[in-house]
Amino acid sequence: MTIELARRVRHLRAEGAYVVLARAQELEAAGRSIVHFEIGQPDFTPPANVTLAGIRAIADGYVRYNPPAGIQQLRAAIAEEVRRRNGLPVRPEQVVVGPGLKPNLFFAAAALVEPGDEVIYPDPGFPSYEALPAYLGAVGVPVALAEVRGFSLDLEAFHRAIGPRTRLVILNSPSNPTGGVIPRQDLEQIAAAARRHDFWVMSDEIYARLVYDGCPVPSIATLPGMAERTIVLDGFSKTHAMSGWRLGYAVMPVELASVVQLQLMHVVGCTAHFTQYAGVEALQGPQDEVEQRLHEYRRRRDLLVEGLSAIPGIRCPRPAGAFYVFPNTQGLGRSSAELATYFLEEAGVALLPGTSFGSNGEGYLRLSYCTSLDNIREGIARMRDAVRRLAG
> In whole angstroms, what is the distance from residue 76 CA to residue 384 CA?
50
- Residue 127 has a pLDDT of 96
pLDDT of residue 2: 87
Per-residue pLDDT tens digits of the chain, which is 392 residues long = 789 999 899 888 888 888 999 999 999 999 999 999 999 999 999 999 999 999 999 999 999 999 999 999 999 999 999 999 999 999 999 999 999 999 999 999 999 999 999 999 999 999 999 999 999 999 999 999 999 999 999 999 999 999 999 999 999 999 999 999 999 999 999 999 999 999 999 999 999 999 999 989 999 999 999 999 999 999 999 999 999 999 999 999 999 999 999 999 999 999 999 999 999 999 999 999 999 999 999 999 999 999 999 999 999 999 999 999 999 999 999 999 999 999 999 999 999 999 999 999 999 999 999 999 999 999 999 999 999 999 87
Which architecture does CATH list for 63-284?
3-Layer(aba) Sandwich (3.40)
Cβ–Cβ under 8 Å, residues 259 and 104:
no
pLDDT of residue 199: 98
Residue extent(s) of CATH 3.40.640.10 domains in the chain: 63-284
Give per-residue pLDDT as tens, 313-340: 999 999 999 999 999 999 999 999 999 9
CA angle (207 as vertex; 202, 211 as ends), nearest 5: 130
Task: Print the SS3 string covering the chain.
Answer: CCCCCCHHHHCCCCCHHHHHHHHHHHHHHCCCCCEECCCCCCCCCCCHHHHHHHHHHHHCCCCCCCCCCCCHHHHHHHHHHHHHHHCCCCCHHHEEEECCCHHHHHHHHHHHCCCCCEEEEEECCCHHHHHHHHHCCCEEEEEEEEHHHCCEECHHHHHHHCCCCEEEEEEECCCCCCCCCCCHHHHHHHHHHHHHHCCEEEEECCCCCCECCCCCCCCHHHCCCCHHHEEEEEECCCCCCCHHHCCEEEECCHHHHHHHHHHHHHHCCCCCHHHHHHHHHHHHCCCHHHHHHHHHHHHHHHHHHHHHHCCCCCECCCCCECCEECCECHHHCCCHHHHHHHHHHHHCEECEEHHHHCHHHCCEEEEECCCCHHHHHHHHHHHHHHHHHHHC
Residue closest to 310 by CA, chosen among 391, 380, 389, 390: 380
- Domain boundaries for CATH 3.90.1150.10 within the chain: 7-45+288-391
> What confidence score (pLDDT) does residue 13 get?
84
For domain 7-45+288-391, which architecture applies?
A: Alpha-Beta Complex (3.90)
What is the reported pLDDT for 14? 82
**pLDDT of 364:** 98
